[in-house]
Chain A
Amino acid sequence: MLTGVIAAMSQLFTSPFMVDVEQIRKEHKGARNHRDLDRVASVKLLNDFIQLESVPDSLRIKAQNLVKSHSIHEAKSEKLYKELTSLKKSKKVKGFKNINLFLANFGNPLFIFVTGLLFIFLYRFRKNIDWKNLVKSFPYIGLMYLFVSLVYLIWVFNPRREIEFGYYITGILFASIFAVIGLKKLLMHLFKINNIDIEKEKLLKAIRILFKQLLKTNFDKGFVKEEKIGDYIETSNETISKVNREIKS
């Protein structure tokens, strides 16, 4: 359990922000911006150069086409950039880039949360639980956990960015099979929902009621005549021995 907690929290000890990479990224961005500004300025300068009379016609036509194509592409780029930012914003879910990332980061912690609740629940009702039979569901639940975690562990050591679809589906399939079997057994033996125990309790109670009437109430309330008491006691004794023989067999 402790290794699990340490492994889950170990990412706190490593920073997600790499200072040296950020610094160089900033410098590169600055240099790139300057390069772009210089390019735009050079196109403008070209436009000015076209106006000179000493420029030959072939070069002038080429330059004019270049300036035109640059302005078209610049307008298109600006328009597409705006569309991109608004589309990205629409796809965001609770601060995550898209719903896929949100679910990926939500699913596993939720799984762990539910497991915690389950343990607390089992402790709270420990006296009413049929533990010997409940434990029979544990191998299936354990296998379910193993399959789910194996998918992620294999992915971590795999160089691919996304979990491979084949592994994912296989893991889900087997995990769900074991989850269904394990959950069924868990619920069956939680709170002694096993039908045989409830029926047995009911029958025992019924037999107790009948014996009380036969052996106590009939005497106490004087339902048996004095002269018949001997016969009544004999028949009661026969009944008692018959019941005992039935129970023994």
Chain B
Amino acid sequence: MKSKKTKKDLDELSEKGLLDDGIRDSYIGKISQYKEKLNKLKKEVDEREQKNLERFKNLPKGRLLQFGEFQIYVSP
């Protein structure tokens, strides 16, 4: 998300009277809100990956293993 450019564009549009009051701020607020969420999710995914690496370190590497519905692949 190129937020810097977006902010500049939004500034220019509100100067020309194309945005109602508060639309710019609320949109930028939403972008930052979802950026935070995205980072949180990324963090969660990283943590889970670390956990799983530790749990499955003894499994054979470089092969796709199936346990019922679940599939596990440990990279070599």
Contacts and interface: CB of A to CB of B under 8 A. Distances in A.
B18 A216 contact: no
A207 B18 contact: yes
Interface string B28-60: 001100100010000000000000000000000
A216 B6 contact: no
Interface of B is mostly: helix
A230 B18 contact: no
A219 B30 contact: yes
A110 interface: no
A244 B13 contact: yes
B19 interface: yes
A243 to B, nearest CB: 7
A155 B35 CA distance: 86
Interface residues of A, number: 20
A240 B38 CA distance: 22
B29 to A, nearest CB: 10
B22 to A, nearest CB: 8
A234 B12 CA distance: 19
Given A233-B31, A243-B18, 13 more contacts: A204-B17, A211-B19, A211-B20, A212-B23, A216-B26, A233-B1, A237-B1, A241-B5, A243-B13, A244-B13, A247-B12, A247-B18, A248-B12
Interface of B: 1-2, 5-6, 9-10, 12-13, 16-20, 23, 26-27, 30-31, 34, 38
20 contacts: A211-B13, A211-B19, A211-B20, A215-B26, A229-B34, A230-B34, A233-B1, A233-B30, A233-B31, A234-B1, A240-B6, A240-B9, A240-B13, A241-B5, A241-B6, A241-B9, A243-B13, A244-B9, A247-B13, A247-B18
